[in-house]
Amino acid sequence: MKRVLFTPGPTEVPSEVLEAMAKPLIHHRTDEYRQYFLETTRLMQEHLATTHPVLTLSCSGSGAMEAAVVNLLSAGDQAIVVEGGKFGARWGMIAQAYGVTVHTVSVEWGRVATVEEVESALAAHPSAKVMFVTHSETSTGALFPVHDMARVAKARGVATVVDAVTSFGVYDLHFDRSDVDGLVWGSQKGMMIPPGLGFVCLSPRGWDLVKESKLPKYYWNLAKAKGALEKGDTPFTPAISLVLAARAAMLLLAKEGRDPVFARHQRNGDATRKAVRALGLSLFAEVPSNTLTAVHVPQGVDGGAVVKTMEQRYGVKIAGGQDRLKGKIFRLGHIGHYDEGDILRLVGAFEASLIDHGASAQPGAGVRAAQESFRSSKPSAAARVG
Amino acid sequence: MKRVLFTPGPTEVPSEVLEAMAKPLIHHRTDEYRQYFLETTRLMQEHLATTHPVLTLSCSGSGAMEAAVVNLLSAGDQAIVVEGGKFGARWGMIAQAYGVTVHTVSVEWGRVATVEEVESALAAHPSAKVMFVTHSETSTGALFPVHDMARVAKARGVATVVDAVTSFGVYDLHFDRSDVDGLVWGSQKGMMIPPGLGFVCLSPRGWDLVKESKLPKYYWNLAKAKGALEKGDTPFTPAISLVLAARAAMLLLAKEGRDPVFARHQRNGDATRKAVRALGLSLFAEVPSNTLTAVHVPQGVDGGAVVKTMEQRYGVKIAGGQDRLKGKIFRLGHIGHYDEGDILRLVGAFEASLIDHGASAQPGAGVRAAQESFRSSKPSAAARVG
């Protein structure tokens, strides 16, 4: 039996990426490495539609979030955190750990904050310097309208930093056309490589804030990282094999093309959502993201047992809920290297396991709905952008 | 032509380790991963002869250094930094970035600080809380007597934190028998895996300091990492493929056995040093480490050209000097997965390239001296411990 990851990260790693990591290690202070590193950076810039530097850090996505906080703020500064899940809450915890005063726009998990709610918070806290928002909230599967939020923040002179950990490679982030001042993401989601790299991209306004920032930093010093990047270098020894993996992955994304990548995620998301509904289940997220489909565990069904059977009997690994959602939702990930056949595998295992555990779903209904969804949608369907 | 790394890190990665990274990725919130992670941790504990938790962070060795600083100290605290090279200086820069008052015991690069010099500094700064020292200074190849230094520090109530980045896997650090309170290291040296993981191990006294520490931290929160480790977990998504690489590497080290590993590095170091001397060159470090052999570039020879030719013509990559030592020394790394044949390859390429660039070395003298060194030493020769 094959074993395939359909978790909201880490995601499946393409064989081209595994191969890049299996080669004998090269040294990072060589022209060969510098060329690969600069090429990877350029491919990420193209993917984000930005001319601004993309900084590669050796850390998880949370490290990249911390880097954004400590480089843009000073102790005593005020920040707004938009929170509707575990990762939104993390922005607040990081900022508070560094003595930043946090004003939270909190919505029930599964909901998304509206632009109006954000506008009220901005009005109520005119001294706020930065607003931290999550694009695709991994804990709930909800997609936040970060670009609209950034627009209203900018109008009030507040910089917006977006956690794009679970949306890079899935949604068109079109950085330079947006009002977003900072993007952070990690390697193990839409980039389709193992965890261990974090990335940050700042706008010129973001870099202005870096100059004002007084929070202590050494490893996270982005100004140093920017200076080093100009020479194809990093301030500290980079996670070389992961950078070479990132190169292989970005070459795959570039070959497929930005719009086709985003459209594929839209089609995979649509098909999964339709399959879930056809099984008589309801979606958890108010505005579901194309990254993962969060589904209410139906009454009378043991959610943990469904997840376990999917893994052990069908070789398909999905995730359950985290924290307060433990046992209450399923999270079916479809970020990254998945095609129509993969989605049928995912949905097929999901419906089979549900039925194994006494759910009243109609056998075959999920897969059939997914097939119909693929058949009726154009492969080039434009993706929504939250 | 084969290409082999003899840099002071990253070092050669054994094929067993590359294979571990080339397998399809597994998820980290699974019993399978937890078992691998706990096994890796246990193997590192055995290697260090410690019962205290070994914490795995997704970062470079510098990140692990920063984690030690921000977990043991508070702003305004005093610390002693023993510095005789680039990495000793890094301790001071990190501590200062966080508002710690640093008293530096500075020795010329290439020299090692003596226990007496450290004793004077301890006497002069009785309020110091922590002393930071480098075991094997990568920039100079010098080995510091950290265990003796830790003993005198402990006698004055000062905790010692050792940068073992370039000595883990090379020297017996025997943590629980030592007076050291904190060890940090990275993945790409004696552990023989690619860069991207940092490690920290603290003594009970070190953990007491963690409770007092008020420096801001989130990603580097070691108390959280300790709590998570008890469940086979990490606070943030771990660099999964590197952890599996670490497991493969630690299995290799355990199979070879601690003492044979340290003795092999002693023999490799001895042979390299004898070869260099037989070529008429002088060692740079006052007390040379078994990790790398730093050698003065002889007068009239272009050091950079020698390094380049070694790489391009002989496939052997060594390092030159860093910062103020650029062009002044060669650094021949022999940390990790190297045997007698590898050392002959290294020394052979070095002497050939020197001669190519006009050095007056006698052809064959280096390799012959290395051979004699191996022949006259016992494979089980006990290693010195700095």
Amino acid of residue B145? P
Pick from B307, B288, B285: which is nearest to B296 by CA? B285
pLDDT tens for each residue of A222-270: 999 999 999 999 999 999 999 999 999 999 999 999 999 999 999 999 9
DSSP H helical segments within chain A, as ranges?
Answer: 15-22, 31-48, 61-72, 86-97, 115-124, 146-155, 204-212, 222-229, 240-256, 258-278, 303-314, 340-356, 365-376
Would you state the pLDDT for residue B120?
98
Residues 6+ positions from A2 with CB-CB distance below 8 Å: A315
CB neighbour class for A26 (10 Å; exposed up to 12, middle 13-18, buried from 19): middle
Instruction: Evaluate whether B4-8+257-376 and B15-255 have a shared fold.
Output: no
Nearest C-alpha in A relative to B94: A218
Residue B92 CA to residue A19 CA, distance in Å, equals 40
Q: Which of B23, B59, B234 is most worth mutating to test chain A (most A CB atoms within 10 A of its CB)?
A: B59
Min Cα separation A375/chain B (Å)? 30
May I ask the CATH architecture of the domain B15-255? 3-Layer(aba) Sandwich (3.40)
Domain map (residue ranges) of chain A: 4-8+258-376, 15-255
The separation between CA A212 and the C-alpha centre of its own chain, rounded to angstroms, equals 28
Looking at beta carbons, which residues of chain A come within 8 Å of B312? Answer: none
Q: How many CB atoms lie within 10 A of CB A324?
A: 10
Q: What is the CA radius of gyration of chain A?
A: 21
The CB-side HSE value for A268 (13 A sphere, CA atoms) comes to 29
Nearest C-alpha in A relative to B24: A13
The CB-side HSE value for A2 (13 A sphere, CA atoms) comes to 9
Nearest C-alpha in A relative to B193: A25
Pick from A215, A175, A219, A293: which is nearest to A64 by CA? A219
Residue A33 CA to residue A43 CA, distance in Å, equals 15
Cis peptide before A10 (omega within 30 of 0): yes
Residues 6+ positions from B285 with CB-CB distance below 8 Å: B110, B112, B137, B140, B141, B142, B143, B294
Would you state the pLDDT for residue B378?
80
ipTM: 0.95
Looking at beta carbons, which residues of chain A come within 8 Å of B1? Answer: none
Cis peptide before B288 (omega within 30 of 0): no
Looking at beta carbons, which residues of chain B come within 8 Å of A5? Answer: 25-27
Confirm whether residue B331 is marked as ligand binding: yes
Place of tokens 């490679």: A169
Cα dihedral angle (A219, A175, A244, A138), rounded to 10 degrees?
80
> Taking every pair of C-alpha atoms in chain B, what is the biggest distance, in angstroms?
61
Would you state the pLDDT for residue A379?
73
Q: What is the CA radius of gyration of chain B?
A: 21
Would you state the pLDDT for residue B381?
64
- B236/A63 touch (CB, cutoff 8 Å), yes or no: yes
Instruction: Select from A60, A97, A319 the Cβ nearest to the Cβ of B217.
Output: A97
Residue A323 CA to residue B299 CA, distance in Å, equals 65
CB B5 within 8 A of CB B346: no
Min Cα separation B381/chain A (Å)? 30
Instruction: Select from B22, B66, B239 the Cβ nearest to the Cβ of A218.
Output: B66
> Predicted confidence band at A384 (pLDDT cuts at 50, 70, 90)?
low
Residue B5, token pair as written in the block: 């790394």
Pick from B276, B282, B283, B344: which is nearest to B316 by CA? B344
CB A291 within 8 A of CB A136: yes
How many beta-carbon pairs under 8 angstroms link A with B?
Answer: 163
Q: Check if CATH label 3.20.20.140 holds for domain B4-8+257-376.
A: no
- B60/A195 touch (CB, cutoff 8 Å), yes or no: no
Would you state the pLDDT for residue A367?
98
- B196/A22 touch (CB, cutoff 8 Å), yes or no: no
Would you state the pLDDT for residue B146?
98
Label the pairing between strands A130-134 and A101-106: unpaired
Residue A195 CA to residue A197 CA, distance in Å, equals 6
Residue A212 CA to residue A98 CA, distance in Å, equals 15
Looking at beta carbons, which residues of chain A come within 8 Å of B237? Answer: 9-10, 60-62, 186, 188, 195
Place of tokens 């909230």: A137
May I ask the CATH architecture of the domain A4-8+258-376? Alpha-Beta Complex (3.90)
Torsion region of B323: left, alpha or beta (phi above 0 gives left; psi -120 to 50 gives alpha): left
Q: For each successive 10 residues of chain B (386 residues), what is the average pLDDT?
A: 94 97 95 97 98 98 98 98 97 98 98 97 98 98 98 98 98 97 98 98 98 98 98 97 98 97 97 98 98 97 97 97 95 97 98 97 97 90 61
Report phi then psi at A330, rounded to 5.
Answer: -100, 145
Amino acid of residue B55? L
> Predicted confidence band at A386 (pLDDT cuts at 50, 70, 90)?
low
Sign, CA dihedral B256-B262-B266-B269, equals positive
Q: Which of A25, A192, A240, A342 is most worth mutating to test chain B (most B CB atoms within 10 A of its CB)?
A: A25
Mean pLDDT of A137-155: 98
The separation between CA A164 and the C-alpha centre of its own chain, rounded to angstroms, equals 5
> Predicted confidence band at A204 (pLDDT cuts at 50, 70, 90)?
very high
Mean pLDDT of A54-58: 98
Min Cα separation B386/chain A (Å)? 25
Looking at beta carbons, which residues of chain A come within 8 Å of B60? Answer: 58, 219, 236-239
